[in-house]
Amino acid sequence: MTEPILLCKDCKHYRKDWISHILSGTYHYDTCASPNTTQNPVTGNENRFCDMLRSERWKELDYSCRPDGRFWEARK
């Protein structure tokens, strides 16, 4: 059997940017609220974009979720 694909939209840390989705129909500004990926570990306010975190290009960064979804957690 193949491993299931871990999609950001199914992760509990996924935050959809509804304004950009409604106005332009894009997902590029959706963010990740995982404590492992935020810029500010104290407040957690500065989230990073999902497409950047899952990109092959940035996989070497400590806070990158990588294409395999390293910090992915199922929604409850």
List the domain boundaries for the chain.
Answer: 1-76
H-helix or E-strand spanning residue 15: strand 14-15
pLDDT for position 28: 85
Cβ(67)–Cβ(59) below 8 Å: yes
Tens-place pLDDT, residues 26-57: 888 899 988 888 777 667 677 788 888 888 88
Q: What is the pTM for the complete model shown?
A: 0.76
The arithmetic mean of pLDDT across residues 1-22, rounded, is: 89
Question: Residue 11 above 90 pLDDT?
Answer: yes
Please, which residues have CB within 8 angstroms of residue 59's CB and are 6 or more apart in sequence? 66, 67
H-helix or E-strand spanning residue 24: helix 18-24
